[in-house]
Structure 1
Amino acid sequence: MIGNLVIGTGVMVVPGTLNDISQSLGISVPQAGQLITAAAILMGLGAPLFAGLVAGWDRRRLLTGSLIWYGLLHAACALAPNYATLMPLRVLAVMSPAVFTPQAAACVGLLVPPEQRGRGITFVFLGWSVASVMGMPLAAWIGGAWGWRWAFGLVAVSAWLVSLWVWRAMPDGVRPAALSREAWGRTLGSAPLMMAVGVTLLSAFSQFTLFSYFAPYFAQTHGLNGAGLSLLFLWFGAFGLLGNVLVSRSIDRIGAPRAVLITLSLIALTLLLWPLGRASVWLQALVLVPWALGCFSANSAQQARLVHLSPALAPATVALNSSAMYGGQALGAALGGLMIAQGHMLSLHTVGLVVAATAIALSGWAAWVSRPAPAA
Structure 2
Amino acid sequence: MEKSRAPDRLVPTALMLGNFVTGCSVLAPAGMLPELSAGLGISIHAAGLLITFGAVTLCIGSPLTAWLTSRIGRRTLLTTTLAVLAFGNLASAFAPDYTSLLVIRLVMLAVGALYTPQAAGTAALIVPAERRGSTIAYIFLGWSLAAAVGLPLITFIASRYGWRAAYGEIGALGCVSFLLLLLRLPGGLRGVPVDLKTWVEVGRSRAILLLLAITMLQMSGQFVVFTFMGPLLKKLTGASPDAIGMVFGIYGVCGFLGVVIAARIVDTWGPYRTSLLFTCLLLAGITGWALGAGTLVLMAMAVAIWGLGFASTNSMQQVRLVAAAPPLASATVALNTSVLYIGQAVGSAVGGLLFAHERLYSLGFVAVGFVVLALILVLLTRPQPAVAVPA
Residue from 275, 289, 299 that aligns with 1:260? 275
- What do residues 271-316 of structure 1 show as CA deviations (whole Å, max 9, x unaligned)? 2222443453222221212101001100001000100111111100
Task: State the partner residue of 1:35.
Answer: 50
Task: State the partner residue of 1:68.
Answer: 83
Q: What pairs with 1:75-114 in structure 2 (closer than 5 Å)?
A: 75-114=90-129
- Structure 1 residue 322 and structure 2 residue 361: aligned? no
Task: State the partner residue of 2:286.
Answer: 271
Structure 1 residue 318 displacement after superposition: 0.3
Q: Is the 8 A contact 1:133 1:241 kept in 2?
A: yes
Of 159-168 and 278-287, more deviation after overlay is shown by 278-287
- Structure 1 residue 141 and structure 2 residue 156: aligned? yes
Q: Structure 1 residues 44 and 372, CA, compared in 2 at 3 Å: closer, same or farther?
A: farther
- 1-structure distance, mates of 2:44, 2:114: 29
- 2-structure distance, mates of 1:367, 1:185: 24
- 1-structure distance, mates of 2:215, 2:305: 18
Q: Give 3-state SS (helix, strand or coil) of 1:94's partner.
A: helix
Task: State the partner residue of 2:363.
Answer: 348
Task: Give 1:169's aligned amino acid.
Answer: R
Q: Is the 8 A contact 1:141 1:229 kept in 2?
A: no
Q: Give 3-state SS (helix, strand or coil) of 1:345's partner.
A: coil
Structure 1 residue 258 displacement after superposition: 1.5
RMSD between aligned alpha carbons? 1.2
Q: Structure 1 residues 13 and 162, CA, compared in 2 at 3 Å: closer, same or farther?
A: same
Of 189-198 and 22-31, more deviation after overlay is shown by 22-31
Task: State the partner residue of 1:209.
Answer: 224
Q: Structure 1 residues 320 and 372, CA, compared in 2 at 3 Å: closer, same or farther?
A: farther
Structure 1 residue 219 displacement after superposition: 1.1
- How many residues of Structure 1 are paired with residues of Structure 2 in the alignment? 374
Of 78-87 and 353-362, more deviation after overlay is shown by 78-87
- What do residues 161-198 of structure 1 show as CA deviations (whole Å, max 9, x unaligned)? 11000000100000112023222211111000010011
Residue from 40, 64, 89 that aligns with 1:49? 64
TM-score between both structures, scaled by the size of structure 2? 0.93
- 2-structure distance, mates of 1:372, 1:2: 38
Q: Is the 8 A contact 1:276 1:287 kept in 2?
A: no
Structure 1 residue 372 displacement after superposition: 5.3
Of 222-231 and 124-133, more deviation after overlay is shown by 222-231
Q: Is the 8 A contact 2:60 2:338 kept in 1?
A: yes
Of 306-315 and 282-291, more deviation after overlay is shown by 282-291
Q: Is the 8 A contact 2:50 2:102 kept in 1?
A: yes
Task: Give 2:266's aligned amino acid.
Answer: I
- 2-structure distance, mates of 1:325, 1:97: 14
Structure 1 residue 355 displacement after superposition: 0.8
Gaps of 5+ in 1: none
- Structure 1 residue 374 and structure 2 residue 387: aligned? yes
- 2-structure distance, mates of 1:273, 1:119: 29
- 2-structure distance, mates of 1:97, 1:209: 23
- 2-structure distance, mates of 1:282, 1:243: 21
- What do residues 204-249 of structure 1 show as CA deviations (whole Å, max 9, x unaligned)? 0010000110010011122224322211111111111001100010
- 1-structure distance, mates of 2:293, 2:341: 29
- 2-structure distance, mates of 1:231, 1:61: 38
Residue from 137, 159, 166 that aligns with 1:151? 166
Task: State the partner residue of 2:347.
Answer: 332
- 1-structure distance, mates of 2:294, 2:38: 27
Task: Give 2:377's aligned amino acid.
Answer: L
Structure 1 residue 95 displacement after superposition: 2.3
Q: Is the 8 A contact 1:144 1:225 kept in 2?
A: no
Structure 1 residue 130 displacement after superposition: 1.0
Q: Give 3-state SS (helix, strand or coil) of 1:57's partner.
A: coil
Task: State the partner residue of 2:239.
Answer: 224
Task: State the partner residue of 1:178.
Answer: 193
Q: Give 3-state SS (helix, strand or coil) of 1:231's partner.
A: helix
Q: Is the 8 A contact 2:237 2:295 kept in 1?
A: yes
Task: State the partner residue of 1:233.
Answer: 248
- 1-structure distance, mates of 2:275, 2:43: 36
Task: State the partner residue of 2:7.
Answer: none
Task: State the partner residue of 1:281.
Answer: 296
Of 226-235 and 33-42, more deviation after overlay is shown by 226-235
Task: State the partner residue of 1:163.
Answer: 178
- What do residues 144-168 of structure 1 show as CA deviations (whole Å, max 9, x unaligned)? 1111111111111111111000000
Q: What fraction of aligned residue pairs are identical, expressed as a percent? A: 36
TM-score between both structures, scaled by the size of structure 1? 0.97
Q: Structure 1 residues 299 and 78, CA, compared in 2 at 3 Å: closer, same or farther?
A: same
